[in-house]
Structure 1
Amino acid sequence: MQSKPQLTIKEITQILSAARAEADKNQWAVAIALVDDGGHLLGLLRLDNCAPISAYIATEKARAAALGRRETKQYEDMINGGRTAFLSAPLAGTLEGGVPVIVDGHVVGAVGVSGVKPGEDAQTAKAGTLSIA
């Protein structure tokens, strides 16, 4: 039987806090979602002045990154590169800003961020994932 690491409340809090610190440092009104490796929501922050839809989008970006085990920017690049058939894939968060959380080579979850420019969303998400590296 195989075993793998799992996120605990300690890491969940650490990841969300680090992502929030990055958003606060840059004065970005974003939503930050953290999911487990199955795409199930573990935590969600919607910062002041962030549009309500960003909470939905951040969660879907996190789910897509966790289930696909890759950054969602790869999906966006694939679609923008002409592979439009991928739009029919059963993933709603195929925009940049979803980043997997990897521990000892295992995807244990993902962070999704929405509310600012795509690269800024990704920067915020990565700040969260790097906090436990």
Structure 2
Amino acid sequence: MADDRQTIPTTSISRAAAVALVEAVREAARGIGFGVAVAVTDPGGHLRAFERTDDVPFLPAEVAVDKAWTAVAFRTPTHVWNDYVADPRIAPLQHHPRVVAVGGGYPVVLDGEVIGGLGVSGGTYAQDQEAAEAALAALGFTVPA
């Protein structure tokens, strides 16, 4: 039997919450006026839910997944990465093939705990951020600055 020193409890976004988040992003993107690719990952960066509207090409689909991965991997929104990579001590991280330093990626935070990642792509970085923030807020998740 494992003791407390060998394991840690983890919490992950449920499938139902991931799908609801995808739908909330789609609704927000429709209201803003752009086609969208949206990805939701678990805390380990593994895809939990994904959707791409018919009018979105394949590249934003990949970018959405990588935005979600970046946000959950570093537990910070992707739009702050532009400032991070300006620091020569951190700049080498920008060469990691999955790090995306463009707005639209957010950790999914509930009660102070990161339970997943959200990536939105298809509009401008500002539109992607707006749709992500609206969806997170609509479902009661924390909207990180």
Offset of residue 70 of structure 1: 0.4
For 2:95 and 2:108, how far apart are their aligned partners in 1? 26
Match of 1:99 among 106, 110, 117: 106
* Residue matched to 1:41: 47
* Residue matched to 1:75: 81
Deviation beyond 6 Å, 4+ runs, structure 1: none
Contact persistence 1:30–1:113 (CA under 8 A): yes
Q: Percent identity?
A: 28
SS of the equivalent of 2:106 reads: strand
Q: Structure 2: which 5+ runs fail to align?
A: none
For 2:126 and 2:10, how far apart are their aligned partners in 1? 30
Return the letter of the residue paired with 1:86. Answer: L
Return the letter of the residue paired with 1:115. Answer: G
Offset of residue 11 of structure 1: 0.9
Contact persistence 1:97–1:114 (CA under 8 A): yes
Question: Could you say if the C-alpha distance between residues 90 and 46 of structure 1 is closer, same or farther in structure 2, counting changes exceeding 3 Å?
Answer: closer
Aligned length: 132
For 1:115 and 1:13, how far apart are their aligned partners in 2? 18
1:62 aligns with 2:68: yes
For 1:78 and 1:49, how far apart are their aligned partners in 2? 32
Return the letter of the residue paired with 1:51. Answer: P
For 1:125 and 1:108, how far apart are their aligned partners in 2? 16
Q: Structure 1: which 5+ runs fail to align?
A: none
RCO higher in 1 or 2 (8 Å CA, sep ≥ 6)?
Answer: 1
RMSD between superposed Cα atoms in Å: 1.8
* Residue matched to 2:140: 132
SS of the equivalent of 2:99 reads: coil
Which structure's CA Rg is the greater one? 2
Return the letter of the residue paired with 2:19. Answer: T
TM-score in terms of structure 2 length: 0.81
* Residue matched to 2:12: 6
Offset of residue 4 of structure 1: 4.5
